[in-house]
Structure 1
Amino acid sequence: MDDLPRIDGGRLWSRLMEMAAIGALPDGKGVNRQALSAEDRDAMRKLIGWGQAIGLAPGFDTAGNLFLEMAGQTQGAPVLIGSHLDSQPTGGRFDGVFGVLAAFEALETLHDAGIVPPRPVTLVAWMNEEGSRFAPGMMGSEVFAGTRSLADIRATADAGGVTAGAELDLLAESFPDVPCRAPGFALHAYVEPHIEQADLLETTGMVIGAVSGIQGKKTYDLTLTGREAHAGTEPMERRQDAVQAFARIAAAMQSAALAAGPDIRFTIGRVEVLPNAPSVVPAEVRFRIDLRHPENAVLDATGLALEAAARDGAAPCQVAVRRMVDAPANDFSPALRAAIRESAAAHGIPAADLLSAAGHDARHMAPLCPSAMIFIPCRGGLSHHPDEWAEPAHVAAGAQVLLDVCLRAASSDQGDLT
């Protein structure tokens, strides 16, 4: 691969740090750049400006996904590369944005070398991958893939009552000169770089991960409804205490999850109690469940067991169970995974196959076209945290492998990429 262009790792690192200043937390380490916020729009504006400076054509779709297109020698479905710009409220400087800026560095390297790819190559920054402001996440990629309606995401409101629809309208108003189209178009291939968000690469001395697939995920929203009463006067036998029902259900769910084996991941990560007063019997508990497993059969069976635990443990309260996310496990293209490993080997970069335990927008691209993910290590596996860190050399390695794989995909028939 000596004849292939080489990315500029210093330039990429500089841009990562420049982007980290948008929404920077007071400690100077982390980032708060949540979906469709003013900070998110500022990050898009900076990216668009960088792209226009090298002749990339910007465009949005009505779901808020941002695209920067490099024309190819022929027209047709593009190779799509990128990730997301939004962060958690106390996020880091690499999650999501590394993938976007690695994609930009790949395109800028092609531009600087005067190379026109065989087919179009398009950078994407997906809207609301994180789901911290508007839940659940991956809204933009789901609408693009046709698995969720635009009307559904527009109606979703944040904690302050602001709807995603209102913010999408503001986004369009903020970029009046950028074309906007309906979501979805044909893809030749999709490649997403990302930090691993775990420590397997780091602990094994690997620098590049050729991701085999993403484990399945289910998300539930549950509401337990009891009856509010005075804590000092209401007899115990008459109480419809929503917290006690929650305690029974949480213990039963933990047991059901553990019965599924060591690969299950079960989390109750959000609990709200109403009225949340020290001298009042709680009338309502709302909580969220995150359930994950790499095998769909185990995931489905465990999900049903959790729902049964909720029904069986609710009395004398009532329970409502809402399925928010039902994303099956998926595999990525063997041919693209092989291309990732071959690129790494050509550059003397240690690489390994591994499964993604976290969800990514690539999950929704895999049914549409040959798709892949490239992981780089993050220190201690720490992510969604201000101390999240990736080494500059690893950042550069990930971008170089992305460029190599992108060019191979753009030069190949789609049938050769499956």
Structure 2
Amino acid sequence: MEMAKIGALPDGGCCRLALTDEDKAGRDLFLDWARQAGCKISVDSMGNIFANRAGRDDSLAPVVTGSHLDTQPHGGKFDGVYGVLAGLEVIRSLNDHGIVTEAPIEVTVWTNEEGSRFAPSMVGSGVFGGKFGLEEALAIEDSEGNTIGSELKRIGYAGDAPCGSRAFAAFFEAHIEQGPILEAEGKTIGVVTGAQAQRWLDVTLLGQDSHAGTTPMPMRKDAVFGLARIVVAIEDLASEFAPDAVCTVGEVAVSPNSRNTVAGCVDFTIDIRHPEEAPLGEMHRRVHAILEEVSDQYELGLNARDVATVPKINFDPGCMEAVREAALELGLPTRDILSGAGHDAMYIGNVAPVSMIFVP
């Protein structure tokens, strides 16, 4: 559990936001372990790390596994880390048994998977898979104006290798399920068939700061009251598209955030997801309509920005079958499962055959 000690929280979780000193420490520890296992290290221009174990024929594209080391502000100790360290353990086991694979084996660490400090999520794998341009990604700012590019340089992970230049024979990402299904059904392995579509929005409501005691209710422009109406309407929207839809208001920042002042500004985020594109598109349209209706009702200024669009992803049938066959050989019970969360494998699927392996 050495990795979990980096950014450890009192409740047992971890905080290693992307490209912070804690993220650097986690990366450094992984590199130490990978070098001890005999891996050759490469870092690309997005800070993505590749630890390569040579095969019998190094002209062949590697079979790749891996995930991420960055976390949410109150992240779990296994989220992302499990996939990275599981890949490293594969290499150690091959070393222990003196096995030389035909093609190289590679373990990756993708940059800024979480999207908590730098939105959107999965930026490192997104550049690698062609979703984002390199310069666009490097210019993404956090809430304090720091860019991905400047922070990569600061922590020493602005690599020289061109991002996206490496060929993969296949990519398998192991990850905790982050849900209750496998445990509830007594399944050890989830064969991930794909990932649901999702949209992210950043929203600002602009009202007017005023005194809580002297401003009559009909004369207020209260951004928090507007937010409250929006949150209820979005919950109702998710219920309308049940059981598959999920909607979340995950971040809220109120200004001036004073006990006795009517709030003049609220910044918040909206996350909507659905397994199918058509219903999600309708939900997305309805969210914008809700924002317009409520802002007009409360006489609020509105700035709604779409910051991430992730399509539904179907994973490679051959890779999925390889996972099923391996689990069967080991006597591990499986079930097919759709990922409700976004993962780096989704963007790598643009350039290589991909599947994911969920564990409870």
Residue 160 of structure 1: how far off its partner (Å): 4.0
Answer yes or no: is 1:183 the counterpart of 2:168: no
Partner of residue 31, structure 2: 48
One-letter amino acid of the structure 2 residue matched with residue 180 of structure 1: D
Residue 131 of structure 1: aligned partner: 115
Among the aligned pairs, what percent are the same residue?
43
Whole-angstrom distance in 2 between the partners of 1:46 and 1:241: 49
Distance in 1 separating the partners of 2:14 and 2:218: 49
Instruction: Note if contact 1:249-1:314 (Cα within 8 Å) is conserved in structure 2.
Output: no
Aligned mates of 2:2, 2:168 — CA distance in 1: 30
Report Cα offsets for 1:215-262 as digits up to 9, x if no partner.
Answer: 111111111112223333334333322222222322332223322221
Task: Write the distance in 1 (CA, Å) between the matches of 2:38 and 2:227.
Answer: 56
Match of 1:411 in 2: none
Could you state the TM-score of these two structures normalised by the residue count of structure 1? Answer: 0.81
**2:328 is matched with which residue?**
345
Q: Does 1:301 align with 2:285?
A: no
Matching residue within 91, 99, 114 for 2:75: 91
- 1:326-382 CA distance string (max 9 Å, x none): 1011111112111111111111111111111111111111222210000111xxxxx
What's 2:302 paired with?
319
The match for 2:105 among 121, 138, 146 is 121
Q: Kindly tell me the number of residue pairs found equivalent between the two proteins.
A: 356
TM-score, normalised to structure 2's length? 0.93
Q: Pick from 15, 20, 34 the counterpart of residue 17 of structure 2.
A: 34
- Tell whether 2:212 aligns with 1:252: no
Q: What whole-Å deviation, never above 9, does each CA across 1:363-406 have from its counterpart, x for those lacking one? A: 111222210000111xxxxxxxxxxxxxxxxxxxxxxxxxxxxx
The 2-side partners of 1:351 and 1:122 are apart by 25
Matched with 1:273 is 254
SS at match of 1:269: coil
Q: Partner amino acid for 1:214? A: A
In 1, the alpha carbon distance for the partners of 2:8 and 2:212 equals 45
CA distance in 2, matches of 1:78, 1:119: 6
- How big is the shift at 1:138? 1.2
The answer as to whether partners of 1:73 and 1:118 remain within 8 angstroms in 2 is yes
Q: Counterpart of 2:343 in 1: which secondary structure?
A: coil
Q: Structure 1 residue 23 and structure 2 residue 22: aligned?
A: no
Alignment partners' CA distance in 2, 1:21 and 1:234: 50
Q: Could you tell me how far 1:165 is from its partner in structure 2?
A: 2.1
Q: Which aligned pairs between 1:94-113 and structure 2 lie closer than 5 A?
A: 94-113=78-97
Query: What is the DSSP-based 3-state SS (H/G/I as helix, E as strand, rest coil) of the residue aligned with 1:181?
Result: coil
Residue 123 (structure 1) shift:
0.8
Aligned AA (1:131) = G
List alignment gaps of at least 5 residues for structure 2.
Answer: none
**Which amino acid counterpart does residue 194 of structure 1 have in structure 2?**
H
> 2:216 & 2:266 partners in 1: Cα distance?
20
Residue 313 of structure 2 corresponds to residue 330 of structure 1: yes
User: C-alpha separation between the residues in 1 aligned to 2:148 and 2:77?
Assistant: 24
The letter of the residue matching 1:87 is T
Matching residue of 1:170? 154
Between the aligned partners of 1:237 and 1:92, the Cα distance in structure 2 is 45
Distance, in Å, in 1 between the alignment partners of 2:81 and 2:103 is 25
Q: Which letter does structure 1 place at the counterpart of 2:105?
A: V
Q: Deviations over 1:173-231 (max 9, x none)?
A: x79xxx63121022221100011111111111110111111111111111111222333
Please state whether the residue corresponding to 2:73 is helix, strand or coil: coil
Show the counterpart of 2:348. 365
Residue type at the aligned position of 1:57: K
Distance apart, 1:97 and its partner CA: 0.7
Which one of 137, 156, 162 corresponds to residue 140 of structure 2?
156
Match of 2:45 among 39, 62, 67: 62
CA contact (8 A) 1:246 1:314 kept: no
The residue that corresponds to 1:405 in the other structure is: none
Q: For residue 198 of structure 1, what is the aligned residue in structure 2?
A: 179
1:106 positional shift:
1.0
Q: 1:298 Cα deviation (Å)?
A: 0.8
Q: Aligned equivalents of 1:295 and 1:136: distance in 2?
A: 21
In the TM superposition, residue 42 of structure 1 has moved relative to its aligned partner by 1.7
Q: Indicate conservation of the 8 Å contact 2:315/2:354, yes or no.
A: yes
**Residue 374 (str. 1) matches residue 357 (str. 2):** yes
Question: Structure 2 CA distance, aligned partners of 1:103 and 1:212?
Answer: 20
1:7-62 deviations in whole A, cap 9, x for unaligned? xxxxxxxxxx12222222245x3222221122221222222122222321101111
Amino acid corresponding to residue 118 of structure 1 in structure 2: E
Instruction: Tell me the equivalent position of 1:262.
Output: 243
Contact map agreement 1:40 1:86 (CA 8 A) in 2: yes
Q: Which amino acid aligns with 2:271?
A: D
The CA distance in 2 between the partners of 1:94 and 1:286, in whole Å, is: 30
**Which deviations, in whole Å up to 9, do the C-alpha atoms of 1:266-320 show, x marking residues without a partner?**
1111111211223322211111001111111111111111111111121111211
Q: CA deviation at 1:83?
A: 0.6
